[in-house]
Amino acid sequence: MKRILFSALAACLAVLQVDAQTRYLDEVFDEVTVTTDVVYGENITVIPALQGLPPAMEDLKMDVYEPTGDTETNRPLLLIFHTGNFLPPFVNGGVLGSKSDNWEVEMATRYAKMGYVVASCDYRLGWNPLASTQQERTLQLIQAAYRGVQDSRTAVRYFRKSEDTEGNPYGIDPDKIGMIGNGTGGYITLASATIESYNDIILDDTGSPITKFWYDPGDGSFIPMVIEGIHGDPDATTDTYAPASVGGFQLCAANHVGYSSDFNFQMNAGGALVI
C-alpha cells in the first residue's frame, strides 16, 4: 500500500513539475528544428574592394531555429547578431564572426526550446584595418557599422513580409520582435534600436554636426562619414550609387520596401555596453 501511495505521489509531483514550466521562461521543448542559410535579403558588400575589385551583390543569410513539434503559430521572434569586428573569421584575428559561432548556436537553441522563433543572422562585413590613416580606418569602420544596421532592419522586414505574403511560414507574431547583439553585434543592434532617421547619425539634438562622424575628405570640406544618397537610408530601402567620379558602382540595394523595420526591444551581450 505504501508503495502504491508513493508511486501516486511521485506521479502527481511529476505532473506539477511539468505544469510549473512556463513557456518563454523555461525550456519546455526538448528539441529544435534549424533551417540553415535562409536568404533574408541581398545587398552590396565591399569585401571585393579589399582585393581591388568593385563592390558586389551578396546574399544575406540566417539560420532559423524553431521548437520541434510546436503547435503555436503566433510566436515572438528573436534576431541574434554575432561578433567579429566587421571582418570574416581569421581575417579578424580570431575564430569567431559568423551566425554559426558557438555562442549564437547555444543561445538560439536555448531560446527556441523556450518557444521562441530565433534567427541567427549574418550581415555584411568589410573594412580595411590596415588603411594608412586613422581617419580612413574610422571612416571605413563607421560605414561597416552602418551596413550592419541596414541588414538588421532588413531582417525584420523580411519576417514581416513573409508573414504578410507567404502565409507566415515561421509562425511569428510580427508585433513581437526583439534583437540580441553579441560583441560587435551589440553595436549594430543598439544603433538599430536608437536611430529613427539618417539625421540621428550625423546631427545632435540641436541640429549641429556630431563631429566624430564627419571628416575632411582632403579638399578642406567637412562632410559626413555616411551619406544617405550614397550609402542608402538606415533601413536599406533605397538604391544608391557611388559618385561617377569614383566608379558609379552600386552601394545599397533596396529590400522589402513598404514593410516596417520597427522592433520591440534590444539586448546586448557584449558590445556597446555602458558601465
- 253 near 273, Cβ under 8 Å? no
Domain architecture of the chain: domains with CATH: 24-199+262-269 (3.40.50.1820)
Please choose, from the candidates 158, 155, 156, 193, the residue with its C-alpha nearest in 3D space to the C-alpha of residue 271: 193
Tens of pLDDT along the chain (275 residues) come to: 444 444 444 444 444 444 569 999 999 999 999 999 999 999 999 999 888 899 999 999 999 999 999 999 999 999 999 999 999 999 999 999 999 999 999 999 999 999 999 999 999 999 999 999 999 999 999 999 999 999 999 999 999 999 999 999 999 999 999 999 999 999 999 999 999 999 999 999 999 999 999 999 999 999 999 999 999 999 999 999 999 998 999 999 999 999 999 999 999 988 777 55
Q: Is 148 helix (H, G, I), strand (E, B) or coil?
A: helix
